[in-house]
Chains A and B, each alone.
Chain A
């Protein structure tokens, strides 16, 4: 665990609050899915909160861009999309961040740098090199970060994008959120190597493993990598080791894992760990944490009310937003 010393109280409260918001939002999304308010594929982020929250804290807002796969609710919240606009999107309502046209896998806010979730495994990775190519060409000083899972790393898209980023010196940071399972297939069954950062070395891209349960570690490593991308046009590859508590999607009971394995990861829960370090440093009390949690549950409840009360998109909307 990295020390929290040097970070001020307000900042740490913000990080903790954001991770907890994501956790409560995902729990509510799962609940509403069970009530059939939300349909289709829905991939929850519980357990991985430190990855997107730490990364977003390491980005320059308004300048940098983020792309990810279909497990994208956390990244959207971390970049400042409102819980209302996300829940409404999950409900398919016109007030959703993608006007009810995207759904769980496609949360977008172009101006906030949220270049969305992509439903094709690894399909967003080449786009990130293009975003970075434009940032370099347009000299806007920004960089792009792209997330994908351990399942995506065997796609050609990953390898082709890594090679192009290296030879063209693009300001892009590749992040593999290694949550140990590509759907139901464990990394050791799918990959010739279990430490996936090794694959970055083949492209002469600086690559390392980061503890994805430690939000401070993620933030510091992403910030370093993004700064290097911006200043030196040097891409990096981070393998962030993490764990998802839930199944791959709502229809997956995750029977391929043992109870012991899941419990071992629950013991290093990123929210619990940050809270413990803050308590130890006397930056938060248990009462303050409970009050924070209560408020966030209300925020999430309000997002449900917002979604419930929002209008459906008009049928004519099917013909819009196709051609520019």
Chain B
């Protein structure tokens, strides 16, 4: 198909989509309206389960089965990236040479690396109380670790990144989510139902199953993102054609 014909087809399809979308928007509830029936029920359910962060309650308690699917998608994508970017027959790895780094940059990285890892851990651990949770904190942990690459070099990253351990941690955490679902079945309730003791509202141990699933997701996201980024970094730094 020629470029011009393709653009014409796209314009026609775009006009149809735009027309129907605008018509649908006109029938939506007004922007900023006070009535949110699902939201109000979710808030009431979250407070009933003594979870202060309603978004975490929705993700890890009320819609935990949906999050199991989301987490499996994450695991599958890490797996496929590892598979797609594996070393081909006509490639080999070469040892990256140490790069010159300003001492001040190196010091900055060494000071900030523990701070960012602590921040990530905090965001994961307080997922049921304050904004954040396993997904957000996991990404903070994983990207914080790469300060070692930004502020030093690839060899320094290799020393703070135990890839073999993280590979296993990713798989174990992904599986642990499903196993945690069985806790509900053992207690005679539904799969992934929140049957653990709920604790005191607004404390670290509140929310029953929520902080446990949250921590498992934090481990999976952190190790998954590190493994994922490792594949891309390998391609850029280590892998050359034979």
Specify whether A and B are partners. Answer: no
Q: Which chain A residues have a beta carbon within 8 Å of chain B's beta carbons?
A: none
